[in-house]
Amino acid sequence: MNRRAFLAALSASLACSASKLPANKNVKWAVSAGLWSHFRPVPFTDILDVMKDTGFIGIRLTGFPGILKTYDMTAQQMESEISKRNLHVATISFGGPANDPAQHDDFIERAKEAMNFLKIFGAKHLVVFSPSRMPEGSDLEAGFKAMCDCYNRLGEVAGEMGFKAGLHNHLDQMVEGPEEVHKCMAMTDPKLFHFSPDTAHLHLGGSDVVQIYQRYKDRMMFMDYKDAKWTTPTEDVVLDNGRVHAKDSKSAKFFSSIYDLGDGEIDFPSCHKILKEINYQGWSCVDLDTARKGPRYSYERCGAYVTKVLEPIYL
């Protein structure tokens, strides 16, 4: 094969590969920086290159503002590296003691700081994790009410800043199981506070994911598409960063229960039909907690699932 033919073949191959990347039209696909904390440290630009190559155009930052120190970057440097690759910061993972009225003012000030940071990147969503579960003997009802009151206040402030704030359910947090999801949604104003569901944590927490999506479809602002099925590990879970989770530990079982899209039990096609029903236009984050053969391999597989299974339903 001569050089011209080789280049033509290479160009066709690259075009074919590009056509198989997520389209990022109505549903825009993101990843979470949290996955890389389980691997040996890499430059932030390596994360961006994996995103670019696999068609995931957004990132949810974790550990703000500490993530800037982790990657030894300023906000301006991060924005520059992201922009030159035509990528985006979709949101950050935000949380704190919203169940403690004495800390509400500080909580709101930190939220303002987070949203002002996100403005640098043109982001408009604040994903809110509920506090850790309160210890036995605590006044759970008072804590839950305080949390929801704080979220209504946060939602009002977010709206004034041009943002939406919404709940992210999570295992071992105050909003874990289905009744807690329903309770938080009932005790917060739908005009002020929205919903950012995590499919894996819904499923592992005992919720019917599709029913939750259907019930709260009008409050959806951001979501995590993450596959899962409860799996008991047969040996210790050893992460790439060297951390070891004993096989009989809760954390080992959790890591063993998270899968690439399509490998678990979650009915993503039905979820995607609901997104089509509401003409959803926003972010879906493939927030893997584990990548058994590395982030690039898992995101290639997840991207293939998006293009082959989900995009024929709704782009």
Q: Residue 72 sits in a domain of what CATH number?
A: 3.20.20.150
The mean per-residue pLDDT over the stretch 107-123 comes to 98
Residue 19: per-residue pLDDT: 55
Residue 38, in any domain of the structure: yes
CB 227 within 8 A of CB 266: yes
Q: Of 304, 298, 306, 300, which Cα lies nearest the Cα of 275? A: 306
Contact 260, 293 (CB under 8 A): no
**90's tokens:** 């979709």
* pLDDT of 18 higher than 80: no
Give the pLDDT confidence of 27-63 residue by residue, as tens digits. Answer: 999 999 999 999 999 999 999 999 999 999 999 999 9
The answer, yes or no, to whether residue 4 has pLDDT greater than 70, is no
Question: Does 185 fall in a domain?
Answer: yes
Domains in the chain: how many in total?
Answer: 1
Predicted pLDDT at 10: 38
Contact 33, 41 (CB under 8 A): no
Is residue 15 situated within a structural domain? no
In a domain, 7, yes or no: no
Domain assignment present for residue 315? The answer is no
Q: What is the mean pLDDT of residues 181-192?
A: 98
pLDDT, residue 244, reads: 98
The pTM of the full predicted model, rounded to 2 decimals, is 0.92
9 falls within a domain: no
* pLDDT over 60 (residue 12): no
How much is the mean pLDDT over the chain? 94
In this predicted model, what pLDDT tens digit does every residue of 260-298 receive, in sequence order?
999 999 999 999 999 999 999 999 999 999 999 999 999
More confident residue, 179 or 7: 179
Q: Percent of the chain at pLDDT above 70?
A: 94
What are the pLDDT digits (tens) for 189-219? 999 999 999 999 999 999 999 999 999 999 9
- DSSP H helices in 196-315: 199-204, 209-215, 250-256, 268-277, 295-305
For residues 179-193, give the mean pLDDT: 98
Inside any domain, residue 262? yes
Residue 2 included in any domain: no
Domain range enclosing 82: 21-310
